[in-house]
Amino acid sequence: MQVKIDRKNCIVTGANSGIGYAAAEGLASCGATVYLICRNKERGEAALSKIQSATGNTNVHLEVLDLSSQSEIKSFVSRFASKDIPVHVLVNNAGLLETKRVTTSEGFEMNFAVNVLGTYTMTELMLPLLEKAAPDAKVITVSSGGMYTVPLTTDLQYSDEKFDGVVQYARNKRVQVALTEKWAEMYTNKGIGFYSMHPGWAETPGIAKSLPGFNKSFSGKLRTSAEGADTIIWLALQPKENLVPGALYFDRAEAPKHLKLAATAQSHAVIDSIIDNLRSMAALPQ
């Protein structure tokens, strides 16, 4: 973990608080040039200033972007691509657990829009910049242990009229793990490593807001954000030959993607049709 990555460019989504902030700070302390992707300008600026002060690294930059918006993602990537810099590490950390059904202005269920569609579009559009950093490029997607409870489903926007945000979040996180597995397979010749990880239950502003009862019950017993972010930083620093393409990691080790009795393993067979759907929703070329 003492590796210096001075010449590497890292993008961290959802970087103004919690695990994203801790990951960005950790990468900045290793000397990386870090781009913080934040939805809120004021909170992003506060995080930027704090990270620069804590690490002494002035190569930390803020990009304001709402990952629930496809048009904003496309506009950002187009703008960022004009810098023509290689992206060595993309950390897909931004996540949302909205307990009530909310629809974005583009017509997507909000949790799905951020956790799945936003992650998908951001990664796909970043591929040319990641390829510039090959063979050192990595995409690290932050999932959740909650995904162990659910199979992969093609019902991406939770059509059941009795909406359950916690179940939808778990489903979204299962998609991220399956997507990572598929990306590693699809883009095996691009020199990009794809990995997912789950941070364990960490005491973050997101958990406090989305699951206040859970947060209160386990106050003081949850991991810190830095503990939750540790495996993200570890994955970013590891030589790729030490890592398993498409694997899920937890506490610096490969973890199973399915629990023995959960009967979720066969569900990953639907990932191809899910990707077709996502590509269509994102209006990316087939």
Asked about 169 being catalytic, the answer comes back as: yes
How far, CA to CA in Å, does 245 sit from each of 64, 135, 140, 148, 191?
A: 31, 13, 11, 20, 11
**Could you say which residues of the chain have pLDDT below 70?**
1, 202-221
What's the pLDDT score for residue 215?
A: 47
> DSSP per residue over 178-221, as a string?
HHHHHHHHHTTTTTEEEEEE---SB--HHHHHH-HHHHHHTTTT
- On the 0-12 / 13-18 / 19+ scale of CB atoms within 10 A, 32 is buried
Domain locations in the chain as residue ranges: 9-281
Q: Which residues pair with 92 in a beta bridge?
A: 141
Burial code (b: 16+ CB inside 10 Å, e: under 16) for 62-96 equals beebbbbbbebbbebbeebeeeeebbbbbbbbbbb
**Are 258 and 264 spatial neighbours (Cβ–Cβ below 8 Å)?**
yes
Q: How far apart are CA 5 and CA 81, in angstroms?
A: 21
Give the per-residue pLDDT at 39. Answer: 97
Catalytic choice (169, 187, 195, 249): 169
Which among 244, 229, 250 is positioned nearest to 28, based on CA atoms? 229
The whole-number pLDDT of residue 54 equals 98
Tens digits of residue pLDDT in 200-242: 876 656 655 655 654 455 556 678 999 999 999 999 999 999 9
pLDDT value of residue 147: 95
The pLDDT value recorded for residue 235 is 98
Q: Which CATH architecture has domain 9-281?
A: 3-Layer(aba) Sandwich (3.40)
Question: What per-residue confidence (pLDDT) applies to 119?
Answer: 98
Secondary element (H or E) of residue 244:
none
Residue where the block lists tokens 């972010």 = 229
